[in-house]
Homo-oligomer: A and B are copies of this chain.
Amino acid sequence: MRNQDQLCSIITIGDELLIGQTIDTNSAWMAQKLNAIGLWVHRRVAVGDGWKDIWSTLDEEGKKSGIVLITGGLGPTADDITKPLLCEYFGGKMIVDPGALANVKHIFEVILKRPMIERNLKQAEVPDVCTVIQNDRGTAPGMWFEKDGVIYVSMPGVPSEMKGMMDLSVIPKLKERFQLPPVIHRTLLTAGVGESFLAERIKDFEEALPEDIKLAYLPHYGMVRLRLTARGGREGLDQDIDQRFKQLRDSLTDVLVADDDKSMQLVVGELLRARSKTMSTAESCTGGYIAHLITSIAGSSDYFKGSVVSYANSVKSGLLEVAEDILMTHGAVSKETVEAMALGANQRLGTDFSVATSGILGPGGGSPEKPVGMVWIAVAHGAHVASRMFQFRFNRERNMEMAAQNGLNMLRQFILERLPG
């Protein structure tokens, strides 16, 4: 086995990735799956729809990696050149694959109940030099090629289709072929302390790490993730990384949010679930984003009852019962209003805990007294309420994210404070 046989390259094909019309979320997902079976992605390359570009990229990545995974360029329309190119590259000729044909027919006749056109039938054609990977979520088949000891797998760019093929076919085949110890990741989440200060605190820990365990800092909207990664599978590596991870965690208890690679919304949900408590949100500037983060977690209906998004003042007074004179005297972006919103949410939605936001995310709407980026956040437990003012200084999108993450973190801290353990 060559040194690079266990290294993977991911190639994504499509001009939409190059001109910024689409963001590649496939590669991140694929890398996690590959890591879990011990395969390391060391390069990811995006190229356009040009024949020469794709061809030379196949050549180059095949020299650097033992496994080359390709996504994109397999749809039914004419901008797709990937399949004929792969056919020529691997020296085959196009044939109709009976399994792929049956699949296309099944999708149109049974699921979509629509007539097929020639273009759809053509999707069942594959080079005769590949092993076909069936697609149970779409019409385009995947293709597995081998050449000069390198494995090439071509899959559609549609995320659900690619994921189905990886889970059902590609990962099991690779796992059987390579039989490697997994790459081990251990991640913890901190909030409230900057990257450089964290680094100072754990300097000695970091310097004492062995060669096969690496530490990385991943800052993310006011939080920092710390990740230990162990590769190679030496005797005792499992225990070694576990022990070091425990040591790291124990030295950071004051800033620790979670000792796993969790999102803030998942941590909040787990705290509520463990205490059999419910929550709601009352959102002005975050416009439903906190509710969206909470409900992106499956099973969140166990603890999340709902929200009032109160962009207009009439909704703050009408549905959250914020007194008109509070709005008049202090304005919508104020300690008084946001606290009344949080209290009103618990009362009107019948929840134990709530988080409320009111602020100016920009670009418009600021004033000398209340500049863009000023956000008030309150958390409430029954009739107990706490609030804090933040001054963010970014664009709308980032201010939204900062407000939501800080709101969730305040809620987390308030739950722990009010109902410890």
Q: Which of B46, B197, B315 contacts A43 (CB 8 A)?
A: B46
How distant is A208 from chain B, measured CB to nearest CB, in Å? 13
Segment touching B, from A10-18, A92-100, A235-243, A247-255 = A10-18
The reply to whether A319 and B301 contact each other, CB–CB distance below 8 Å, is: no
The reply to whether A291 and B309 contact each other, CB–CB distance below 8 Å, is: yes
Complex CA distance for A15 and B42, rounded to whole angstroms: 8
Quick one: CB contact mask for A278-296 with B, threshold 8 Å, 1 for yes?
0001010011111110111
Residues of B within 8 A of A197 (CB): 117
Residues of B within 8 A of A294 (CB): 287
Complex CA distance for A199 and B78, rounded to whole angstroms: 8
The reply to whether B20 and A298 contact each other, CB–CB distance below 8 Å, is: no
The reply to whether B315 and A349 contact each other, CB–CB distance below 8 Å, is: yes
Query: A336 interface residue, CB < 8 Å from B?
Result: no
**Count class of interface residues, chain A:** 35 or more
The reply to whether A28 and B23 contact each other, CB–CB distance below 8 Å, is: yes
Residues of B within 8 A of A299 (CB): 364
Secondary structure of the A side of the interface?
Answer: mixed
The reply to whether A305 and B295 contact each other, CB–CB distance below 8 Å, is: no
Query: A382 interface residue, CB < 8 Å from B?
Result: no
Known pairs A288-B292, A299-B364, A305-B311; A15 contacts B79 (CB<8 A): no
The reply to whether A218 and B22 contact each other, CB–CB distance below 8 Å, is: yes
Query: A362 interface residue, CB < 8 Å from B?
Result: yes
Query: A394 interface residue, CB < 8 Å from B?
Result: yes
Q: Which of B48, B60, B217, B315 contacts A306 (CB 8 A)?
A: B315
Complex CA distance for A199 and B77, rounded to whole angstroms: 6
Q: Which of B47, B300, B319, B365 contacts A319 (CB 8 A)?
A: B319
The reply to whether A160 and B394 contact each other, CB–CB distance below 8 Å, is: yes
Query: A179 interface residue, CB < 8 Å from B?
Result: no
Residues of B within 8 A of A296 (CB): 287, 396-397, 400
Q: Which 6 A-B pairs have the closest CB atoms?
A: A287-B295, A288-B291, A288-B288, A20-B28, A307-B309, A20-B32
Given A21-B261, A79-B217, A298-B363, 11 additional A-B pairs, CB 8 A? A18-B44, A19-B32, A19-B35, A20-B30, A78-B215, A158-B219, A281-B309, A296-B396, A306-B309, A312-B350, A318-B349
Interchain Cβ contacts under 8 Å between A and B, 10 examples: A18-B40, A18-B41, A20-B31, A43-B46, A45-B45, A75-B217, A79-B217, A111-B393, A119-B196, A291-B291
